[in-house]
Chains A and B, each alone.
Chain A
Amino acid sequence: LVTFAYESFSENVFVARAIRGALAATAGLTLVTAIQLLRPHMNKQRYILPVAVALLSLLLVWKFAFPPVLVLGVAAVLGYFLPARESA
């Protein structure tokens, strides 16, 4: 219903302005979501693995055009072979 309302009222100048602001904020919040996924697994002693895996995924999908599902598969395989204490 909300999506239908968005489509119906998006021609209105004021609504269009409001949507522009909401979309800009959403872009910022999407970046926050990425950081929030890593945050619970990081502290001063253990931050290398989360950051390294996230950056490796970014590199694979961006520079080498890996499909996202394949990137997740690579991460799963990596997780399987990593010693449990290192990834804790």
Chain B
Amino acid sequence: MNAFVLYLFLLKAIVTTFSGLASVPIVRNDLVVHRHVLTDHELNTSLAITRTTPGPMGLYVVSVGYFVDGTPGAVAAWLAMITPAFLMIPLLEFARKKVEHPRFKSVLRCVVFASAGLLLWVTVPLARDAIHGYLTVAIAVVAFALAITKRLDSLWIVLGAAVITMIVGS
């Protein structure tokens, strides 16, 4: 895929969801489902890499870019990630008063709720790709439980899971 087209796809995903992991469903829909330039395995790997490295969660798009088009893809993805930050400065100047409007807040809130629903949807194929056998089922369940109850940093959960499967095997 052309790096510029990739840039546009990723920019669309980031801008419409305000970045972070909320953009995963759009990235999957565009690059995995429709364009077939990325697999669920690669997308899940990008998320795993992001969770084990420092930086914002939205950085996963750089790994996605690398999987799609190598180094030019990674650069295109990085540019897609930083472009909204540049757009945001003049936009905030324009929308300073509007962001406090209850109706605007209501729109943002509903988009966040919808993003949660979309993330539920995208979890299914990612889990289908990653979970094979009792051990990986147990790891996914324990990771979920630890993150939801103990608020443990995802870095330790992912690293712990990696160490356990490395020792125990398949």
Check A21–B164 contact: CB distance below 8 A. Answer: yes
Which of B16, B74, B132 contacts A3, CB < 8 Å? B74
Given A26-B130, A58-B118, A68-B25, A21–B106 Cβ distance below 8 Å? no
Is B123 within 8 A of A37, CB to CB?
no
Is B122 a contact of A30 with CB atoms below 8 Å? Answer: yes
Q: Would you call A69 and B12 a contact (CB within 8 A)?
A: yes
How far, in Å, is B155 (CB) from chain A's closest CB?
10
Complex Cα spacing A17 to B75, Å:
29
Q: Which residues of B contact A14 (CB under 8 A)?
A: 166
Among candidates B62, B114, B136, B169, residue contacting A24 with C-beta atoms closer than 8 Å = B136
The CA of A31 and the CA of B123, in the complex, are separated in Å by 6
Of B41, B117, B135, chain A has the most CB atoms within 10 Å of the CB of B117
Count of CB-CB pairs between chains A and B under 8 Å: 224
Asked whether, in the complex, the Cβ of B53 is within 8 Å of the Cβ of A2, the reply is: yes
Distance (Å) between the CB of A32 and the closest chain B CB? 4
Residues on A facing B (Cβ under 8 Å): 2-4, 6, 14-15, 17-35, 37-38, 41, 49-50, 53-58, 61-62, 67-69, 71-72, 74-76, 78-80, 82, 84-85, 87-88
- What residues make up the interface of B, taking CB atoms closer than 8 Å to A? 12, 16-17, 21-22, 24-26, 29, 41, 44-49, 51-53, 62-63, 66-67, 74, 102-103, 105-123, 126-127, 129-132, 135-137, 139-144, 147-148, 154, 157-166, 169-170
Considering the complex, give the chain B residue whose CB is closest to the CB of A84: B102
Query: Known contacts A22-B162, A61-B25: does B63 contact A3 (CB below 8 Å)?
Result: yes
How far does the alpha carbon of A30 sit from the alpha carbon of B122 in the complex, in Å? 9
Nearest CB of chain A from residue B96's CB, rounded to whole Å = 19
Q: Which residue of chain B has its CB nearest to the CB of A10?
A: B45
Q: Please name 5 further chain A to chain B contacts, defined as beta carbons within 8 Å, in addition to the given A25-B48, A31-B119, sorted by A numbering.
A: A21-B164, A26-B44, A26-B158, A37-B119, A54-B113
* CB of A49, distance to nearest CB on chain B (Å): 7
CA distance A75 to B53 in the complex (A): 32
* Contact (A19, B169) CB under 8 Å given A29-B143, A61-B25, A84-B102: no
Nearest residue, chain A, Cβ from B70 = A4
Please, which residues of chain B bring their CB within 8 A of the CB of A49? 113
Q: How far is the CB of B53 from chain A (nearest CB, A)?
A: 6
